[in-house]
Every structure is written in structure tokens, then in C-alpha cells.
Amino acid sequence: ISFAASYTDSSDDETSPRDKQQKNSKGNGDFCIKNIKQADFGRREIEIAEQEMPALMALRKRAQGEKPLAGAKVVGCTHITAQTAVLMETLSALGAQCRWAACNIYSTQNEVAAALAEGGFSVFAWKGESEDDFWWCIDRCVNVEGWQPNMILDDGGDLTHWIYKKYPNMFKKIKGIVEESVTGVHRLYQLSKAGKLCVPAMNVNDSVTKQKFDNLYCCRESILDGLKRTTDVMFGGKQVVVCGYGEVGKGCCAALKAMGSIVYVTEIDPICALQACMDGFRLVKLNEVIRQVDIVITCTGNKNVVVREYLDRMKNGCIVCNMGHSNTEIDVASLRTPELTWERVRSQVDHVIWPDGKRIVLLAEGRLLNLSCSTVPTFVLSITATTQALALIELYNAPEGRYKQDVYLLPKKMEEKQNGEMVNPKASLLLFFLGAW
């Protein structure tokens, strides 16, 4: 998810958006955002994003003929970014009506929300919502006179949860749920097990394509980007240890090797270790190299991979960061002791200084580097967004009875049918993904 800065925030006033009278230039006021005046700037961001979302743009072109979402009333709860805006405007072009809230209180790009509101979308979101604001926004999306959703697009399950809790009757008209996150999918499977899932749901998190893109291909680029933006470090000749050789680790290792770093790998899974070895990385224990490396990157998914003992032994200037799925791979808590001095030298960059003057460079306080200090390429988000759109189309148009009250993966046949037709360049989903092929 892109947390790219909302450049003009600082000049905004402090009044809560909920307390303001809001209208767009056409007089429409069915939205609640930070500042409608940022719409033009947000439109620019959306236009940039469109350049890297060829699949959605291709879907729009198709929609000039058919409107596969005609009559669909989609309520959505996702990060509100330029990429989401491209998705929403695509859904709209395909015939859907949309109402939208944010799935995260910090991630909204205010200027994009403004552009959407200006464009006629009912958006309820701003950067820096309180928890109360968060649920208020979601409620404003669903609790409307004379409009009832028939499709849910969720990221994290909060929207679904809210409807379950407050408006269970609404499910009678709902044809299905499309859920993107690990957490949300987990909740759906629990509902399903408990016999409480009352509409079909589509799990768009677990697809080969998405996994490869979110991890291997994406991290191959974001590790470089995240390190550069924060530290301007030169990669050539640096010694780096990468902890973990799953898809994320593979991406990190490949990128750094290509930039001329000397890369070591720690790995406890034998198959992954063997792959690291056959890919030409020296397998080590962290212990063996901790004194000599210039950069330490964690991507194991485990806790406390880099503990205080290791931090104590790193050399002066060592950069430490986390690309894994947990915020606890680096034992940052162990560094909050009186003898160590913390110095914030840049946004997301702390120098932690030992009594003898040694300093290590800690990025994003051990949180995910690729989310905190890099941007997820629009192209990757495009894969997800296209999959979401396809899942909505599938669920909305499926004949009665094809999908029960269960959690489904995007039907392989659909993917195959569309992708398989690579001989017919017009029809291939892959082509959408790749754009210009």
C-alpha cells in the first residue's frame, strides 16, 4: 500500500471533516473528506497511476460495449489511494455505483479522496481519522436512505463485520463479498466453519500471481528503493546478510546481488536453504557474519531474529531493517535501554548509539521497510485491483447456485480461459496485467 505523502496537508485547518459543510463543484455533498480544493492535485496522481494500470484501463475500454456491473451497488472499504481511485472509476465505467470508506486511519491520500468526491463518488475518508471517525465513515457508506449495497469489496473485514453486527438483514440483497487481506480471509473462513457465512465470498488474497507479485517481484525492487530513499547507501561492494530465503528473501537477494553486494543468507527450512545454495548465496548462521556485514535484512516471518546480542556485535554504521511480515523480527524493544542514545536523523531513520560511539542505523523502527520507506509499485497494485474487479464481475454475474455460502478462490477456469487465450491478444487477462505486450 502506498503511503505517499499528501503534500499539502500541513496547510490544512484543524477542523474535523465531520464538522464541515462539504460540496463539490456540482453541488453534490454526499461525501466527507478533508479538503475538496485538493481535487486537482489528486486528479494528477490518479492520472499518473493510470499509466501503470493497463489491465484496468483495458477493462474500461471493453466496458464501452458491455456493462458487466450494470445495476451493481458496491460498498467498499480499502486503502484510499490513487490506485484505488483507478479501480473505483473502472467499476463505475463498468456500470457499478460505489460508496467507499478507508480501511486504515492513516493511509488515505486526501487529495485523491478529494478528486473522487469532485468526480461524484461518495467517499468518506481522510488521513488521520480517529477510531470513532473510522466506524462513522463505514456507517455512512452503508446506512443510506434509498440505497442498499448488493456487493461488498473489503480489505481487512471491518466493513463486513460492521454489516454483520449492525445491518444483518442487508445480506439478503448482497450477492457476494470480495476480500483481499489475510486477516479478512481468515475471518471469512471462520464464519464459514461456524456456518455463519450467509453469502458467497471470494478470496483474492491467495493466487499464485498475487503471491509472486506481492513478494518476489515487488520486494526485488522495493528493497533497493527503501534502502536508497532512507540511507542513500551504495550497494556495490557492501556485505549484506538476508535472514530468510522465502519469496521475499529471494527477491531481496537477487536485487542486491545484481547491484554488486556480497550477500549471505540464513535459513532454517532445508528446501529454501538448498535453493539459496544453488542460487549462489553462502549459507551462514547470523552469528558468523554479524560483525562484518554492512546491512542486515530480516524476512523470516519469525520473532526476534535479530536480538540485542547481535545488535551489540554489529559494526559501526551497520544498517538494520525488516522486510518480513512481522514487526518483531528485530528486537527493537531491547534497544530502548538507558545506555543507548537514539537520534532521529531523518524520517524513518534512527541512529542508535552505543556508549563507545558505535552507531547502528535502524530503519522504520523495525517495521516493514517496503511499506514505510518505499512505495508499492502501482503495477503491483494493478494486479490486485484487476483481480478484485474480475472477482466482482464473476460473483455478480454468476448464475444462481453456482456459488454457495462459502469462501472461493477466483475460479481457475476463468483465469485459465482468459489467460490461455494468449493467441488472441485481445482476450488475455495476462495481457491486461502486462499491458503493452
Could you list the residues known to form a binding site for NAD(+), using ranges: 246-251, 267, 370
Q: Which residues are annotated as a binding site for substrate?
A: 81, 155, 180, 210, 214
Task: Give me the count of residues in the chain.
Answer: 437
The residue from 94, 153, 224, 390 that contacts its own copies (CB under 8 A) is 224
Q: Which of 95, 301, 317, 411: binder of its own copies (CB under 8 A)?
A: 317
Residues 246-285 that bind its own copies (CB under 8 A): 254-255, 257-263, 268-271, 273-275, 277-283, 285
H helices within 52-174, ranges in order? 54-62, 82-93, 110-118, 131-142, 158-166
Nearer to its own copies, 269 or 406 (CB): 269
Q: What residue has cell string 520507506?
A: 373
Closer residue to its own copies (CB): 41 or 135: 41
Assign 401 to helix, strand or coil.
coil
Residue 116 lies near its own copies (rule: CB under 8 A)? no
Minimum CB distance to its own copies smaller for 56 or for 98: 56
CA dihedral sign, ordered 360, 366, 372, 378: positive
Does residue 239 belong to the site contacting its own copies (CB under 8 A)? Answer: yes
343-382 binders of its own copies (CB under 8 A): 343, 345-346, 349, 351, 359, 361, 374-375, 377-380
**What stretch of H or E contains 49?**
helix 39-51
Q: Which residues contact 356 (CB under 8 A, 6 or more apart)?
A: none
CB of 332 to its own copies, least distance (A): 19
- Per-residue binding string, its own copies, 390-429, x by CB under 8 A, is -------------------------xx--xx-xx----xx
**Rule CB under 8 A: is residue 313 a binding residue for its own copies?**
no
Q: Are 99 and 76 in contact (CB under 8 A)?
A: yes
Q: Which residues pair with 201 in a beta bridge?
A: 177, 407
- Residue 206 beta carbon to its own copies: minimum distance, rounded to whole angstroms: 14
289 binds its own copies (CB under 8 A): no
**Sites for its own copies among residues 45-74 (CB under 8 A):** 45, 47-48, 51-52
Q: Does the footprint of its own copies cover residue 209 (CB under 8 A)?
A: yes
Short-list 127, 108, 120, CA closest to 29 = 120
Under rule CB under 8 A, residue 186 binds its own copies: no
Q: Which residues of 213-239 are buried (b: 16+ CB within 10 A; e: fewer)?
A: bbbbbbbbbbbbbbbebbbebebeebe
The overall longest dimension of the chain from CA atoms, in Å, is 71
What minimum distance in Å lies between the beta carbon of 308 and its own copies?
Answer: 20
